[in-house]
Structure 1
Amino acid sequence: MIKKRYIVILCVILMIVFGSVIALTKPVLPTIQIPGEVYPGTEGLLPQALFNGTGITNTFVATVIMWILMLILAFGLRARSRTADDVPTGFYNIFEMIFEGAYNFAERIAGSKVRVLLPYFMTFILMILLANWMELVPGVDSIGMWEFLPHLEGVEAAAVAEQEAAAIGEELSPEELEEIVHSVTEV
């Protein structure tokens, strides 16, 4: 029979080992979030209460296009489902395969409530798929407006000042370089 103190000692050793492994791992990096680009000349077009006067952004336009594609897909598949063909062909066949797979998946999870939940589930999945697939088309959801970034001018000015100082045999301190960067970006 193992004594309790050996179990406690073993647990303490395991906590030390696992704690040191966790301490050596790198922390999770923060996510990078880029705001939507506003189309030029659209500031104030949309209602102030809903859009805070930001204008029409590229992500808003991409979402509207995605919903238009969803409606075209829904009405196109609905018209195709009413035909008398027993064997589906082409795109409708692929979509029916996807729908049957999603229906069976949702039925195993939701049981008898599948008829109520499936439209929401499929809409959510198709919305995510279409929005992500649209991003694969070059030029979609990107405006490419040039933005003035003054901090880069400060870094360039500091590099030029450092080269000039090196040419005459001097060395600038980090404080002087930082002062040059800040003096350029404040202008």
Structure 2
Amino acid sequence: MNRSVFFEELRAENVANEMNLEEGSNDNGCEIDAFLDEMDDDLATQSQLSNPNKVDSTFSKKKRRSSEASEPYSSTSLIDAVTLLGDNIRIVGLELSRSIASEMLIQNKSKMIIQEKVQTLYVFLGEIKGLTDDERIDALIKIPDHPMQMLVFLSLPPSMRLAWVRKFISTH
């Protein structure tokens, strides 16, 4: 069913509903059921057209259920379903908030560790004899961007650090 036909039927349905309200008709539950069933039919048809090999089991179950029990949906059952959905959304939101807070805590802890390592790096670079101030600044700028290389540098014996820093600066 294309959109224009669907919207024309929807407008016709609205006009019929308004006429029923004016006449004092009180069978809106059946009309809502019919409208929902028609929407299910339209969605199932579109689903089958887009993927003919796929069987829509949800639609089949709804169709069987609606034919087996012809009682209309009650407002209580709809309210219960919406309440349950709202509760589930709230729970997911809380879990997501906890996850984000946990991730932020991990990131902040990582930043603090890197800052401590940079301070240690500064001290170690100051102890290297033969390293110029420009090389020291370049190393302080470049090495923190490569945390694994910083760990390598800090684990080297003092006699190898000058050559390592110069090589690192020239290649990065």
Is TM-score (shorter-chain normalized) higher than 0.5? Answer: no
Larger RCO, structures 1/2 (Cα 8 Å, 6+ apart): 1
Using the size of structure 1 for normalisation, the TM-score is 0.24
Name the structure with the higher helix share: 2
